[in-house]
Amino acid sequence: VLQVVQVDEIEGGDKRSKKSNVWSDFTESIDPNDSEVKNQCLHCNKLFKKSKGAPTSTLRRHIASCKVFNMKKK
């Protein structure tokens, strides 16, 4: 079970606003097993390690192939 937290509650988190529309399909969560911040798909609950280099690229690719998201879209 993941603990869902607000971005401003994550210590050392980026305080800038998230401008990409992909963030409406994800939430930041703390994995209790390793205390890492991860992005969780709101549709299928898959976890993605937080990326510093290209934070939305992996998330966009996932949404394009997420079966649950694409089923809801139809």
- Cβ atoms of 37 and 73 within 8 Å: the answer is no
Report the chain's mean pLDDT, rounded to a whole number. 81
**Which DSSP category does 6 fall into?**
-
Res 12: pLDDT: 54
User: Which residues does residue 38 pair with via DSSP β-bridges, in sequence order?
Assistant: 29, 49
Q: What is the pLDDT of residues 44-62, one digit of tens each?
A: 999 998 878 788 999 999 9
Each domain of the chain, given as residue ranges in start order, spans: 22-72
3-class state of residue 30 by DSSP: strand
Q: Is the pTM of this model over 0.85?
A: no
DSSP element (H, E) containing 67: helix 67-73
Q: How would residue 3 be classed by pLDDT, with cut points 50, 70 and 90? A: low
pLDDT of 7 higher than 60: no
User: Which residues does residue 26 pair with via DSSP β-bridges, in sequence order?
Assistant: 41
Res 8: pLDDT: 46
